[in-house]
Amino acid sequence: MTASSAPYSDHSPVLAGGQTPVRASSALPDFAVLGGGLCGRLVAWRLAGAGHRVALYERGGPEGGESAAWIAAAMLAPLAEAAVAELLITELGVASLETWPRILAELPEPVFFQRNGTLVVWHHADRTEAPLFERRVRANAPRELADANFTTLQGAQLDAAEPALAGRFARGWLLGGEGQLDNRQALAALAAGLEQRGAETHWHTSVDDASLPRARVTIDCRGLGAKPVLPALRGIRGEVARVHAPGIGLKRPVRLLHPRYPLYIAPKQDDLYVIGATEIEGEDRSPVSVRSALELLSAAFAVHPAFGEARILELNSQCRPTLPDHRPALIWDGGETLRVNGLYRHGFMIAPAVADEAVRVAQALLAGQLADADAFESLRHESRWASMLHARHMQGAREPA
Ligand SMILES: Cc1cc2nc3c(=O)[nH]c(=O)nc-3n(C[C@H](O)[C@H](O)[C@H](O)COP(=O)(O)OP(=O)(O)OC[C@H]3O[C@@H](n4cnc5c(N)ncnc54)[C@H](O)[C@@H]3O)c2cc1C
């Protein structure tokens, strides 16, 4: 896809002649980052670390409770996700898995991070799901990645790998090298990192498109909150349970294949488990339905009956910010604004690589290197992730198909 056929219409205000307002003053911050969920925090933190003056605006508080990131299981599973995602996502995920430890090492607060792989299991009655899953993963992931990390476990091998599930499943797969982190610790540590790097943080500040904060460059990371300017964006509801289940001791995220409700159980620190997640079209932020709660909790109970004695700490829902092609996108508006969106169900898995690319484009904008469409095209050609970069050119932008 070429930049001139931008697939996502951008409804930001445009002056006559196709120029967006120029905001140049040395008193202005270099960057205003709109939205301090996962992506906004990471981008702002990276830019502040590079010595820029950054102001971040977030409608919620520093804990991140208004973001999709607050609800996420934060599994970093590029191979497991290849069952439902294309190559771009897998590659962004593989690159990001290597970057997360470096990011976390620089943050001022500890964040639980683990790379113990993903265990995939299924009940005998659902065994026809297994070859389908394997076929989809192998079709979408790079061959070397799948060959190196897809290990079949039978009987005693599975019991040895995950003793908590000994005797419960006849077969499974260990997807090596995959990881997870604690989403809420990561959001808190990034907030602390922003303070440490001297970024201006405006918590509890909702940004209105009619009166944007002034800055030399604006980076819009509002997730679903960017819908007024990205009408193609949609939400996909996800519901999760957080339970406290001492004594089970899963060593890694477990995915249960099922024809109707594939489930994961992600063990965090202190016997906390995130059990998820539904995937329902729509932007309904109402509480978790009885049906979803029953499905999630009974599936966990079927993986290990000790989940029957777990204590439910939270049942919660959020909407994943999703573009029509289910891919992340960096959309330059042709002026001084870059929008970073569409992280869908892979935000944690791909955020480091997406944020790195956003920083590169944003710095080019600040340096005045994106004067026209040709300049954008050459930036795009240099990018490993060119298919993620889009521009609304001065003329010729069209509505999404
Ligand atoms: C149930 C569920 C499970 C998930 N599990 C995983 C997983 O295991 N692994 C994984 O990689 N990803 C997972 N995700 C996906 C991940 O959470 C998202 O992809 C990611 O949070 C998107 O990041 P974002 O910064 O674009 O959006 P968000 O995290 O939603 O952040 C957007 C921020 O913008 C703010 N905002 C919106 N409008 C405004 C405004 N007008 N003014 C100021 N601020 C505003 C919001 O308050 C919010 O804080 C899951 C998501 C859900 C819902």
Same domain, 155 and 254: yes
Closest CA relative to residue 109, chosen from 39, 41, 34? 41
Same domain, 298 and 332: no
> Is-above-0.85 flag for pTM?
yes
Whether 187 is in the pocket of ligand 1, judged by its Cβ within 6 Å, is no
In the predicted model, residues of the chain with pLDDT beneath 50 are 1-8, 13-25, 394-401
Please tell me the distance between residue 76's alpha carbon and the centre of ligand 1 in angstroms.
Answer: 15
pLDDT at 11 (0 to 100): 54
Same domain, 17 and 155: no
Contact criterion met (CB below 8 Å) for 235 and 224: yes
Residue 48 lies in a domain: yes
CATH number at residue 285: 3.30.9.10
Which helix (H) or strand (E) segment is 32 a member of? strand 31-34
Domain end among 275, 296, 320: 320
Q: Which two tokens mark 184? A: 């809420």
- Range of the structural domain that residue 39 is part of: 8-70+183-230+325-391
Residue 90 lies in a domain: no
Phi and psi angles of residue 186, each rounded to the nearest 5 degrees, phi first: -65, -45
Write down the residue that tokens 């069952």 correspond to.
83
Whether 37 is in the pocket of ligand 1, judged by its Cβ within 6 Å, is yes
Residue 101 lies in a domain: no
Alpha-carbon distance of 177 to 295, in angstroms, equals 29
Contact criterion met (CB below 8 Å) for 150 and 78: no
User: What one-character-per-residue DSSP string does 185-223 give?
Assistant: HHHHHHHHHHHHTT-EEETT---BTTBPPP-SEEEE--G
pLDDT at 275 (0 to 100): 98
The answer to whether the bond into 277 is cis (omega within 30° of 0) is: yes
Pairing of strands 217-220, 337-341: parallel
Same domain, 18 and 60: yes
Please tell me the distance between residue 218's alpha carbon and the centre of ligand 1 in angstroms.
Answer: 19
What ligand 1 atom has the least distance to the C-alpha of 39?
25
pLDDT at 393 (0 to 100): 61
Minimum CA distance residue for ligand 1 atom 3: 72
CATH number at residue 44: 3.50.50.60
Whether 343 is in the pocket of ligand 1, judged by its Cβ within 6 Å, is yes
Alpha-carbon distance of 273 to 251, in angstroms, equals 11
Same domain, 309 and 331: no
Classify residue 17 by burial, with Cβ atoms within 10 Å: 0-12, 13-18, 19+: exposed
pLDDT per residue over 259-297, tens digit each? 888 899 999 999 999 999 999 999 999 999 999 999 999
Residue 139 lies in a domain: yes
Contact criterion met (CB below 8 Å) for 301 and 308: yes
pLDDT at 338 (0 to 100): 97
Please tell me the distance between residue 298's alpha carbon and the centre of ligand 1 in angstroms.
Answer: 27
Same domain, 154 and 255: yes
pLDDT at 262 (0 to 100): 85
Domain end among 320, 350, 378: 320
pLDDT at 298 (0 to 100): 94
Residues 6 or more apart from 166 whose CB is under 8 A from it?
159
Same domain, 139 and 286: yes
Count structural domains, the chain: 2
Same domain, 221 and 285: no
Residue 219 lies in a domain: yes
pLDDT at 26 (0 to 100): 57
Residue 209 lies in a domain: yes
Alpha-carbon distance of 369 to 381, in angstroms, equals 14
Residue 98 lies in a domain: no
What ligand 1 atom has the least distance to the C-alpha of 264?
8
The answer to whether the bond into 391 is cis (omega within 30° of 0) is: no
pLDDT at 32 (0 to 100): 98
At 142, the amino acid letter reads P
Domain end among 320, 343, 365: 320
Please tell me the distance between residue 69's alpha carbon and the centre of ligand 1 in angstroms.
Answer: 4
What ligand 1 atom has the least distance to the C-alpha of 207?
42
Alpha-carbon distance of 339 to 277, in angstroms, equals 27
Please tell me the distance between residue 43's alpha carbon and the centre of ligand 1 in angstroms.
Answer: 14
Contact criterion met (CB below 8 Å) for 319 and 342: no
Same domain, 26 and 172: no
Minimum CA distance residue for ligand 1 atom 17: 69
pLDDT at 260 (0 to 100): 84
Same domain, 239 and 279: yes
Same domain, 273 and 368: no
pLDDT at 10 (0 to 100): 52
Same domain, 305 and 244: yes
Residue 338 lies in a domain: yes
Please tell me the distance between residue 67's alpha carbon and the centre of ligand 1 in angstroms.
Answer: 5
